[in-house]
Amino acid sequence: MKDVSELGPDSLTTRFRALVVEDSRISMRAVSNLIALQPGVKVVGMALDGNDGLQLARTLKPDIVFADLEMPGKSGLELVQMLREELPQTKRVVISVHEGDVWKNLSLSHGADAFVSKSELAEKLPALFWELFEVSREVAPPGVTPTAEAPSAGIPTPKLRASRSKK
């Protein structure tokens, strides 16, 4: 368990503070890097298991927690269930190498706000923040431009693209 305040831009543009709980160091770094690349998002902590993740969440009170489904000790499912009770304002996302509705439904039934397979994380991550936090399209994070609406579980969700300056 460690504080990773060095990840992500430390500026006034930070809108969401994220915690990553993942038992594989390589996956933890990859997921954290993907999250830290999102405009307005800062990874404020990382933990290698659910117990440390719960302790960090209690201390840091992040806006969102990304938890691996399967971990030794306290699983991601147990973690999101406890977070739902202790920190209900914190959004909970279960991530996994597994795909499919069975895993999604299991995660949602344990208190997750969303389930994303690791293979789809890079693709789905930008819109996930819009959907979970119901961010107004008029107040887009810096560097992100809403391009269109796409249905997601019956809720209009903007597709995003990063704006890049040409030099």
> What percentage of the chain exceeds 70 in pLDDT?
73
Taking each helix axis from N to C end, the angle separating 25-36 and 121-133, rounded to the nearest 10 degrees, works out to 60
Rounded to an integer, the average pLDDT of 71-98 is 95
Q: What class has domain 2-137?
A: alpha beta
Residue 141 has pLDDT above 70, yes or no: no
Q: What is the model's pLDDT at position 157? A: 30
Confidence band, pLDDT 50/70/90 cuts, at residue 149: very low
* 42-59 tens-digit pLDDT: 999 999 999 999 999 999
Chain mean position to CA 91: 8
Whether the per-residue pLDDT at 9 is higher than 60: the answer is no
Which one is predicted more confidently, 160 or 122?
A: 122
SS3 state at 5 = coil
Higher pLDDT among residues 66 and 14, named by residue: 66
pLDDT at 2 over 70: no
**Closest of 106, 32, 104 to residue 65, by C-alpha:** 32
Query: CB within 8 A of 24, min separation 6: which ones?
Result: 68
* Per-residue buried b or exposed e for 28-55, using 16+ beta carbons within 10 Å of the residue's own CB: bebbbebbbbbbbbbbbbbbbbbbbbbe
Of 50, 58, 59, 61, nearest in space to 21 by CA: 50
Question: Domain segments of the chain: what residues?
Answer: 2-137
Closest C-alpha among 84, 82, 79, 86 to residue 96 = 79
pTM for the model: 0.75
Within its chain, how far is the Cα of 61 from the centroid? 14
* CA–CA distances in Å: residue 85 to residues 58, 62, 80: 12, 15, 9
pLDDT given at position 135: 63
Residue 128 in this model has a pLDDT that exceeds 50: yes
Q: How confident is the model at residue 160 (pLDDT cuts 50, 70, 90)?
A: very low
78-81-84 Cα angle (round to 5): 150
DSSP-assigned letters across all residues of 122-154:
HHHHHHHHHHHHT--GGGPPTTEEEEEEEEETT
Average pLDDT, the chain: 80
